[in-house]
Amino acid sequence: MNVTCNVIKDILPLYLENMLSDDSTEMVEKHLEHCQECKNYLEELKTFHQVPVDTNISPLLKIKSSIRKKNILTAILAMMIAIMLIVITIAFLTAPKYIPYSERSVTLNEAENGWILVKFENTVSGYDIDQYPTEDNSGYVYHITTWNNTWNKMIKKSKVNYTVLNPNGENVVSVYYYQADGSEDILMYGKDINQGGGIITLPRMFLSYYLLAAIVCTVVCGGVMIIWHRHKKVFRFTLMIFYLSVSYLLSHLIVKGFTTSSYSATRDFFAIVLVLIPMYVAFLTVLHLFRKYKAKNQ
C-alpha cells in the first residue's frame, strides 16, 4: 500500500492539471476513496496551485490602477480649472477703480492732539497712502488716493470711514490727492511743495519687466526645445520652464490685459500668481494625460 501511496503522490500534480490518461485518473480516484493521507496531500497541492493563479490577475490590476490614475489626473485638471475660474472672477470683482477727486470723497480734519484725520465718503472701499519726508526733513508729504470695486458695490459693503495720517505725531507738510490717471496731483492740505510745478504720481512699472522676462524666457525655451528636441532630458526640463513662462504670460493677459503699468501693481502681481499656479498645474496634468494616451496607443 505504501508504495502505491508514493506513486500516487508522484502523479497527483499531473492529476490536478488533468494531464493523466483515463486509466491513471481512475486509479488515482480509486486510491483517494480510501486513503486519507493522499487526500490530504491533494488538498495541500490544491492550495499551492492557487499561487500562480493569483499572479495571473496582475495585468488586470495594472489596468485598473492605470484607469484610477487617469481618473485622478482628470479630477485634478477639473479642480485646477475651477480654482482658476474662481480666482479670475474674484480678481475682476476686486480690481480697484480709482475715484476722481472731489471735496466730498475725502476730507481732512485736524484733531486737538495734532493728528490729521482723513475721513472717507461712503462710496470709498479702499485707499492708498504714500508718505515721504520733505527735502529739508521738516516733515512729511502724503499722497492719497481712494478706490472702489465691484465686489464692494454688489456683494459685500465694507466701507472705510477714516484713518489717521500721522499716528506718531509726524509733521504733515502737505497732502496731495492723486487720481491714478496720470493727471496732476491735487493739493488738499498744507503748502504746495512744488510751487505750481505740478506733481504727478506715476503708476508702477515692474509688471512690464516681469512680462518682458516671461516673453524672453518663452522664446529662449522654445529655441532650446527646437535645437535639443532629440535630447529627452533637456527637452522635458525645458518644457516645464516653457509652460511656466507661458502660464505667466497668459495670467498677465487675463488679469491685466495689454496694460503693464499699474497703480496697484503689487495687488495685480498677487492676482497674476494666483491664476498662474492652477494654470501651471493644469498644463502639467494635461501633459501627463497626453503622455499616457500616447503610450497606450503605441
Asked if 84 touches Zn ion (CB under 5 A), the answer is no
Alpha-carbon gap, residue 294 to 289, rounded angstroms = 9
Q: How far is the CB of 31 from Zn ion (least distance, A)?
A: 6
Measured in residues, the chain has a length of: 298
CB of 292 to Zn ion, least distance (A): 55
In DSSP terms, 144 is beta-bridged to 129, 177
Sole binder of Zn ion in the list 16, 35, 217, 286 (CB under 5 A): 35
Report the residue from 28, 38, 87, 180 that binds Zn ion according to the rule CB under 5 A: 38
| 175-203 burial code (b ≥16 CB/10 A, e <16) | bbbbbbeeeebbebbbeeeeeeeebebee
Q: Which range touches Zn ion (CB under 5 A), out of 3-11, 97-105, 197-205, 247-255?
A: 3-11
Tell the smallest beta-carbon distance from residue 10 to Zn ion (Å).
11
Q: Is 275 in the site for Zn ion (CB under 5 A)?
A: no
Alpha-carbon distance of 107 to 31, in angstroms, equals: 111
Q: Does 281 bind Zn ion (CB under 5 A)?
A: no
249, 295, 293, 294: which is closest to 275 by C-alpha?
249
Looking at the Cβ atoms of 9 and 119, the one nearer to Zn ion is 9
Does 27 interact with Zn ion (rule: CB under 5 A)? Answer: no
Site string for Zn ion, 4-23 (x = CB under 5 A): -x------------------
Closest contact distance (angstroms) between CB of 33 and Zn ion is 10
# binding residues, Zn ion (CB under 5 A): 3
**Smallest separation (angstroms) from Zn ion to the CB of 25:** 15
For 201, left (φ over 0), alpha (ψ -120 to 50), or beta?
beta
Q: Would you give the end-to-end CA distance of the chain in angstroms?
A: 60
Task: Tell me how far, at minimum, the Cβ of 5 lies from Zn ion, in Å.
Answer: 3
Name 151's Cβ contacts closer than 8 Å, sequence gap at least 6.
90, 93, 94
Least distance in Å: CB of 54 to Zn ion?
Answer: 29
Minimum CB separation of residue 41 from Zn ion in Å reads: 8
- Of the candidate spans 28-36, 135-143, 145-153, 229-237, the one that interacts with Zn ion by CB under 5 A turns out to be 28-36
| 20-28, 30-38, 233-241, 282-290 -> range binding Zn ion (CB under 5 A) | 30-38
Which of the stretches 27-35, 178-186, 197-205, 261-269 binds Zn ion when contact is defined by CB under 5 A? 27-35
Q: Considering beta carbons, is residue 31 or 70 the nearer one to Zn ion? A: 31
Piece of 33-41, 64-72, 79-87, 143-151 that binds Zn ion (CB under 5 A): 33-41
Question: Residues 17, 22, 25, 26: what is their CA dihedral angle, to the nearest 10 degrees?
Answer: 160
C-alpha cell at 86: 474662481
Binding to Zn ion in span 149-178, by CB under 5 A: none
Which residues in this chain contact Zn ion in the complex, by CB under 5 A?
5, 35, 38
